Structure 1
Amino acid sequence: MKKLLSFIWNWIVPIALGVVAYLAITTFWVNIVTINGDSMDPNLLDQQKVFVQKTENLKRGDVVVFDARKEDPRIQSGNKDYVKRVIAVAGDTVSYKDGTLYVNNKKVNQSFISSDEQTTGTASSFGSSWDLKSLSSTGLWKQNDRNSTVVPKDSYFVLGDHRSVSNDSRYFGFVSKKHVIGKVHVPFWYSTTVKNNIAKEEQHFFA
């Protein structure tokens, strides 16, 4: 009996506590996600691993992971989650003109991406000037998001950092808060530049 109790205490209990701790962390706080694709290049690269914190307090500039199966009607087979940057939150307007991105008519500080992605990458097939109204009238967006002029309640407008290849809100519309898995944090060994670009503080979001 003594040996059995010793075995339970030394082996079973630590294993059980470890399983409980793991489930608690992954369910209520943080998980590990592998980046799939180049839409956040050069800040996040294909097959890199990042931490994703479950939070409801998202701000402009945050990089998030969301369930793309519930947002992108043309999602490619095998894809599941998208990683993008929050550009605008509920109540915001978004517009782009001649290489400059605006939120609520304020110029966005886009130092986290190259000048090419700020201009031709952001314009893409939508031209040198666009706004939410023109994007949502293309027929590409989800039916409920069409003919919008502001970001609706509990929703976000997101863009990839590598905009010339990114499939983002320009193409499918707003991301619902309930489909966001969490906010991205990069490991400590990533470069200072990448850490600063991913942990973009909202007070530095506008130019």
Structure 2
Amino acid sequence: MNEVSCLKKEIYEWLVAILVAVALYFIIHQFLFLVYTVNGDSMHPILKNGEKVIVSKINYTVGDIDNGDVIVFHADKKDDYVKRVIGISGDKVMYKDDQLYINDKKVDEPYLEENKLSKTNVQLTENFSVKDITAPSVATIPDGKLLVLGDNREVSKDSRYFGLIDEDQVVGEVALRFWPFNVFHYNFDPAK
């Protein structure tokens, strides 16, 4: 082989490697995972402003959205929010005296303990039910809808503010926090 054909072969191999890398990046980013930067303090203390997380898109391709999942969803055409799923389709959700009830069963929320400790004689989550968010005649979350709340209830704009979200707005589940490195964390649902 002469030098020109060796150079052509090497250029061809590099082009193929670059195309494969670009295709893999596109597939991973489009269908499996993406990096998201937390914006705001609505999920404090579990997620703080500026932290970086990996969002798993595949969890909802092969699985279901569950209560307690921390998700990223499209709030509008330009903004994404990170919140916790509190109620899914068919759930009757109610807060009374700072206590969550799903389908009339008391549900513990250990992820709120730090925020509750900073309060004195004030409820972290005001009393409300699905009826207050939707319509007085709707007692349960309709099909294809989710009730989402931030863990830092005092500052969070969530379903209490903008109503239920559509399941198809969900980008994916927060799988792990990787930045900054000293706060690496991978399980945001205490039930898992």
TM-score, normalising length from structure 2?
Answer: 0.84
- Retained in 2: the 8 A contact 1:120–1:164? no
TM-score, normalising length from structure 1?
Answer: 0.78
Greater gyration radius: 2
Q: Distance in 1 between matches of 2:25 and 2:16?
A: 14
The within-5 A match list for 1:86-101 is 86-101=85-100
Matched, 1:27 2:16: no
Give the unaligned 5+ runs of structure 2. Answer: none
Matched, 1:106 2:95: no
Tell me the matched-pair count: 177
- Structure 1 letter corresponding to 2:108: N
The within-5 A match list for 1:1-207 is 1-9=5-13, 11-54=14-57, 55-56=59-60, 57-69=64-76, 80-114=79-113, 115-116=116-117, 120-123=123-126, 129-133=127-131, 135-136=132-133, 145-147=134-136, 148-187=138-177, 189=181, 191=183, 195-196=186-187, 198-201=188-191
Runs of 4+ in 1 over 6 A off after TM superposition: none
Give the Å deviation of 1:31. 0.4
Q: Distance in 1 between matches of 2:33 and 2:128?
A: 36
Deviations 1:17-37 (A, max 9, x none): 110100000111110010010
- Structure 2 letter corresponding to 1:120: Q
Deviations 1:111-167 (A, max 9, x none): 1112258962211xxxxx32111x23xxxxxxxx43321111011111100001101
Give the unaligned 5+ runs of structure 1. Answer: 71-78, 124-128, 137-144, 203-207
- Retained in 1: the 8 A contact 2:110–2:190? no
The change in CA–CA distance for 1:101 and 1:199 in structure 2 (over 3 A counts) is closer
Q: Distance in 2 between matches of 1:184 and 1:21?
A: 21
